Copies of this chain bind each other. A is one copy, B any other.
């Protein structure tokens, strides 16, 4: 008896005296229609939000976004002309100033009280939105939450986006800002991070810092990172139609991937960092949910970091779709995420 035949003892035990569990067709499998209740053990707030929400429609998701460059530019301009900053300042007790660093538009966020541990620290925030949404002053929103929760200064980068400026503009803008910040802070005093595309871009930026011989930051926050822009992570399939934020790859993700890569291979490591090298990364905290279509991207990044000996802490919330902790920062999943980020930064920044 070999080790691998031993391995099947458990399966064999399940099949004793009974036909096996398995039917006849090989992959791809056809997963039949099922009824999905709201998650009983998400927070009461998240469970209620889901229970009261209309069901996401994958077909609508696929046709829900602008279909031309011009429509994208209009949508991005509309977001730039909104001004949520006064409301953010009032709600969170932070100060936000729009400025330029190395020619890049940024939002400099100062919390009401800087935590004693963070007097010399800075969080470099990168917004999400599939590389095509989330720009303009709204980019500062998640950064403002982190600033208020952790008591840390934040610079949130309003990086250039396609169709006007595809890859590598977002990486270049992030690196340009980081280089300037290194005049004021040591690398280990800076954290970098964000959610979704903002987390994938954080990974890409750290890889590019290594390429350029720059010291890497002291910590990374990777909230449900979009770290593989191809349609190949398993949870893109298993959680399609279940994740009520992303709903389907054939929507924001497919469009964002195509516009951002602009002809470059989607497996370029600075576009999809899961195809890159995680050695030498700083300590990283990763957040996802069981209903998240990017759960697979998150856990794949976690394992790659661990394989390189990097300290990497994974948190997965019950019943949570993509980025709901950020979209609804007041629900317990949002508050716990901010508390985990805060604790992580205090442990790992120099």
Residues of A within 8 A of B (CB): 1-4, 6-11, 13-42, 50-58, 60-61, 64-66, 71, 74-75, 78-79, 84, 87-88, 90-92, 128-129, 133-134, 138, 141, 228, 232-235, 237-242, 244-245, 247, 251-252, 274, 290-291, 295-296, 299-300, 302-303, 306, 313-319, 323, 326-330, 334, 336, 340
Contact = CB atoms under 8 A, between A and B. Distances in A.
Contact of A21 (B32, B240, B247): B247
Contacts of A87: 1, 6
Given A13-B129, A328-B7, A64 B316 contact: no
Interface centre among A38, A54, A313, A336 (most CB of B within 10 A): A54
A116 B21 CA distance: 43
Given A28-B35, A291-B238, A3 B329 contact: yes
A18 B65 contact: yes
Given A10-B327, A87-B1, A129-B10, A17 B242 contact: no
Contacts of A10: 128-129, 134, 138, 141, 323, 326-327
Contact of A26 (B17, B51, B88, B330): B51
Given A1-B91, A14-B252, 15 more contacts: A4-B330, A6-B88, A6-B141, A7-B329, A8-B327, A16-B78, A17-B78, A22-B57, A22-B244, A26-B53, A29-B35, A238-B238, A238-B290, A299-B317, A314-B316
A340 B306 CA distance: 10
Nearest first, the 3 closest Cβ-Cβ pairs linking A and B are A1-B87, A23-B57, A39-B234
A196 B319 CA distance: 20
Contacts of A88: 6
Contacts of A15: 64
Interface centre among A138, A299, A317 (most CB of B within 10 A): A299
B300 A34 contact: no
B54 A26 contact: yes
A278 to B, nearest CB: 14
Contacts of A71: 17
Contacts of A50: 27
A308 to B, nearest CB: 13
Given A141-B9, A238-B36, A316 B299 contact: yes
A36 B41 contact: no
Contacts of A61: 21
Given A6-B87, A6-B88, A75 B17 contact: yes
Given A22-B57, A317-B303, A41 B296 contact: yes
Given A3-B330, A26-B55, A133-B14, A319 B242 contact: no
7 contacts: A14-B64, A21-B244, A30-B33, A33-B33, A39-B296, A238-B238, A296-B319
